[in-house]
C-alpha cells in the first residue's frame, strides 16, 4: 500500500513474467503467487516481499474453483465469475471499488472478516494474458484497496493470493476467471475450521465493504 504506483506495476509485471517463464516447464501444473505480510500472516522475513512457487499439481482450492466453474459453465454456458461481477456491480452493497478494468468486492460468502477479491471485469482465465493497460489498472485498484484495508483495520497483517488457471491446461479458458484474494488476519483458524472445512465469520461482507468503501484515504 505504501509503494508508488509505478513500483506496484513493476511487481505485477514481475509476477506475469515469472509465471510465463515457469509455465514453459512441462513438469509444472500450477504457479502460485502469494504475499504474507506480518507475523500473524506467516511472514518470516522482515522486509516486504512476495513469493512464487511452481507445483507439479494444481492446489486443491484452485482445482475446486476450476471444477465448480466448469459445472456452472456446462449448465449456464457462462462464466460464473463474470456473472458474479455483473451482480455485484448491479447491487453495489459488497462493492469496495472499481476502475475501467477491475472490480474489488467483499465476496458473498467470505471465510474471513474483510476478505476482499479483485477481479478483471473482462473475462480472462490466466494472469499470464495481462496487457499493459491491465497491469496499470490492477496496480491502481490493488494499491487503493490495500490503503483502505490499512485505514479501516489499522495496518493489519494480511495474506494475498493470486488464483490463476492451472498452467499447461487450456480447458479452463472459457469458464475460469483469475483473481486476487486479500485476507486480513483478524480471526484465528481453530479446531472447528480444521475439523469441518467451514469458517465462522462474525462480520457480514456488506458491512466490511461499506467500511472499506467509505474509508478516507
User: Which residues pair with residue 51 across a beta bridge?
Assistant: 34
Rounded to an integer, the average pLDDT of 25-54 is: 82
Q: What is the pLDDT of residue 49?
A: 81
Q: Which of 37, 49, 123, 170 is catalytic?
A: 49
So what's the architecture of 5-214 in CATH? Answer: 2-Layer Sandwich (3.30)
CA-based end-to-end distance of the chain? 11
pTM for the complete prediction?
0.93
Distances (CA, A) of 15 to 31, 72, 206: 10, 29, 31
Q: What is the pLDDT of residue 48?
A: 75
The answer, yes or no, to whether residue 41 has pLDDT greater than 80, is no
- Render pLDDT for 67-120 as a digit per residue (tens, 0 to 9): 999 999 999 999 999 999 999 999 999 999 999 999 999 999 999 999 999 999
Question: pLDDT band at 172, cuts 50/70/90?
Answer: confident
Q: In what order do the strands lie in the sheet with 51-55?
A: 51-55, 30-37, 158-163, 179-184, 116-120, 102-105, 95-98
Q: Where are the domains of the chain?
A: 5-214
Q: What is the pLDDT of residue 206?
A: 98
Closest listed residue to residue 184, CA positions, set 18, 5, 20, 38: 38
**Is 49 an annotated catalytic residue?**
yes
Amino acid at each position: 500500500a505504501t509503494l508508488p504506483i509505478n513500483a506496484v506495476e513493476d511487481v505485477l509485471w514481475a509476477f506475469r513474467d515469472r509465471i510465463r517463464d515457469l509455465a514453459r516447464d512441462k513438469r509444472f501444473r500450477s504457479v502460485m503467487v502469494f504475499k504474507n505480510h506480518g507475523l500473524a500472516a506467516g511472514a518470516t522475513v522482515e522486509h516486504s516481499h512476495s513469493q512464487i512457487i511452481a507445483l507439479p499439481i494444481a492446489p486443491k482450492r484452485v482445482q475446486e474453483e476450476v471444477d465448480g466453474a466448469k459445472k456452472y459453465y456446462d449448465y449456464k454456458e457462462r462464466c460464473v465469475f463474470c456473472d458474479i461481477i455483473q451482480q455485484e456491480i448491479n447491487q453495489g452493497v459488497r462493492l469496495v471499488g472499481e476502475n475501467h478494468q477491475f472490480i474489488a468486492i467483499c465476496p458473498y460468502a467470505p471465510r474471513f472478516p474483510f476478505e476482499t477479491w479483485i477481479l478483471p471485469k473482462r473475462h480472462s482465465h490466466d494472469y499470464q494474458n495481462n496487457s499493459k493497460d491491465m497491469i496499470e489498472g490492477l496496480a491502481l485498484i490493488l494499491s487503493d484497496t490495500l490503503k483502505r484495508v490499512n485505514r479501516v483495520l489499522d495496518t493489519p497483517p494480511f495474506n494475498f493470493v493470486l488464483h490463476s488457471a492451472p498452467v499447461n491446461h487450456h480447458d479452463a479458458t472459457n469458464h475460469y476467471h483469475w483473481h486476487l484474494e486479500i485476507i486480513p488476519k483478524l480471526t484465528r483458524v481453530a479446531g472447528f475450521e480444521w475439523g469441518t472445512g467451514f469458517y465462522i465469520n462474525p462480520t457480514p461482507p456488506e458491512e466490511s465493504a461499506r467500511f472499506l468503501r467509505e474509508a478516507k484515504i
